[in-house]
Amino acid sequence: MIFGAYDRKARVLYLCYRDNIRTYRYKRVPPQEWGNLLNASSKGTYVNQYIKPLYEYDEVSAPELEAV
């Protein structure tokens, strides 16, 4: 992960990965998950274990990100 952002009001987590420079939007993510991710010793492991399997996500295009 090279970039992350969290929209508390919408409960949406945005993550951009360094391997393919794609950004994903994870939906209905509680605020504590964002805090847990920031405090995780390995961000990648945390995302793979606690974010990807539990939250619906989709790829976000550049124009969508500009609106955030």
DSSP of 24-52: EEE-S--HHHHHHHHH-S-HHHHIIIIIT
Beta bridge partners of 24: 15, 59
Cα separation, 16 vs 59, whole angstroms: 10
CB 4 within 8 A of CB 12: no
pTM of this structure: 0.83
Over the chain, what is the mean pLDDT?
88
Average pLDDT score over residue span 42-56: 95
Bridge partners (DSSP) listed for residue 5: 14
